[in-house]
Amino acid sequence: MLQLLQPFWPFSLLGLAVPVAIHLWNRKQGRRIRVGSIALLKEAQSRRMSSIRLGELWLLLVRCGLLSLLALLLAGPQWVTPGEEKVKNWLLVSPELAAQVADSASLVRQAMDSLTTTATEQRWFTEGFPVIEVGKPPVNRNRTEEPENYWSLLREAAQLLPDQAAVFLLTGERLASLKGERPAVGLGVNWLTFPASDTTTTWIHETYLTTTDSLRVVWGESRPAGNQLRISTLPARTGRFPQPGGQILQVTTSNGAPSVRLNGGNAVQVDTATTRINIYYATRYSSDVRYLQTALQAISRFTGRKMVITVTTGPDKIAFPENMVFWLSHAPFPESDVTETSVLFRYPLSDSAHNINTWLEWPLVSARPVDVSRQFKGDVPGLPVWRNGFGESMLSRDDQRGPVTYYFNSRFAPQWNDLAWSPAFPEALLSLLRTSLWEPRAPRTGFTDLRGVDARQLMPRTDGKKPDRPVADRTVPLREPLLLAALLLFWLERWLSHRQKRETTKRVTA
């Protein structure tokens, strides 16, 4: 594509009318004709005007070409080979930094200003990616207390931008904003993090009445360096009780029900209920009971919660209502007792089993895998909670039908697995009791996870595609080749002109 640096010079091509006019009006030299007498010649009107025509056509074309080249040289011609279409880069800023965006002296604002030329569009890193207007909050800001999910939003941005685009992210450094699987994108991601303004938050994790009629309060502190849970045992009476770090726990009563406040925050009602657990078993699974019962007793001693654990061999002997029933049988659970139970833990309906050489993968970080040598056949309903080494569900949770139901695809027996010998067995059962029974009964409030994360942990995975950088337009100046062509035309014009003069002189003298 031809491009002119000074496009007004081509108007000088109007001067081509000059050599054309010269050639049109150029009169030919008359020829001398020798005659003996002019007596017989008649007068005739001159036809000179009617015979006007272009003469010396090649010389005219050369001179017009020479003038055109001179006009083109003055216009500064260059040949541009267009590269790929330039990609618009995005600057995405998390809404949690909105206050710093409005402050012209903040580090966030300085980073935005330094990226103005690199990132052509500045948008909020939230749903819909609205354009940033300084002084105005993001229009689609998350209205819940939950922080933005950085990885989910990055997947959305990758769908809107081509692979060769670059994204500059300015966000906080909270671990709570990383949810789900690490994304794989083809974008060029540059991630800058800024510390949050809040340094410490406190909350009450749970509080309950113990077997000794005292109050057990589990409360936590969250900092960018990590979370810490503390356990305090308080007397079952009203009062203020100082805690480590200058924290204050206050016990109050309302209508005879005790509640606890941390540093004057919201009151959390004390769980005074007794947890009732029943273990029902079929005769052939009698050996499984003692391992399960021992683990539940260990939980009761560790937590200090009021727990009543009973063992029955017949469904009609279960004293409903029960908070949790361990149904160590393949028989269907009685429909009449469904509403009398909050949580059901059972073996699958099919008793068909097979040998297997695998292990049990825990959701507990500190626990080692447990060897599994035998399990029941078939799939179990619900979402997997524990899996084996082949990715098959060993324990699943089903919330769709009746009470919360756990299906265990093996047994509490050493012949089937090493679960009974694992020190993590009571811990795993404690996790199930907390998530399905105790936490729904007394949900925690005021919890804000401030744990920080290193910038390297934020980065997504690459999807294997190498980002193609946009190629700049290639420009080739045409000054030198056009100048050489003009010199050649000038030489050709001089040669044609001298040649024409010699031929004219010969005709005149002939």
In order along its 510 residues, the chain shows pLDDT tens digits of 677 777 777 777 777 777 677 666 665 555 666 766 666 666 655 554 444 455 567 777 777 877 787 777 777 777 777 655 556 788 999 888 888 888 888 888 899 888 888 888 889 998 888 888 877 777 654 444 567 888 889 888 888 887 678 889 998 888 888 888 888 887 888 888 887 666 788 999 999 999 998 999 999 998 888 889 999 999 989 999 999 888 999 999 988 889 999 998 888 999 999 999 999 999 999 999 999 999 999 999 999 999 999 999 888 888 778 889 999 999 998 877 777 788 999 999 999 999 999 998 877 766 788 899 999 988 888 999 999 999 899 999 998 877 899 999 999 999 999 998 998 899 999 999 998 888 887 777 778 888 888 877 888 877 655 444 455 567 777 778 878 887 888 888 788 777 777 777 776 665
- Count of residues for the chain? 510
DSSP 256: T
DSSP letter string over 316-341? GG--S-EEEEEEESSSPPPGGGGGGE
Cβ atoms of 16 and 68 within 8 Å: the answer is: yes
Which residue's structure tokens are 């959390």?
Answer: 268
* Cα dihedral: 402, 406, 411, 412 (round 10): -110
Q: Which two tokens stand for residue 398?
A: 């089903």
Report the distance separating Cα 226 and Cα 452, nearest Å: 7
**Is this structure's pTM higher than 0.85?**
no
DSSP 445: B
173, 178, 187: which is closest to 119 by C-alpha?
187
- Which residues are CB-neighbours of 335 under 8 A, at least 6 positions away? none
123, 125, 170, 132: which is closest to 147 by C-alpha?
125
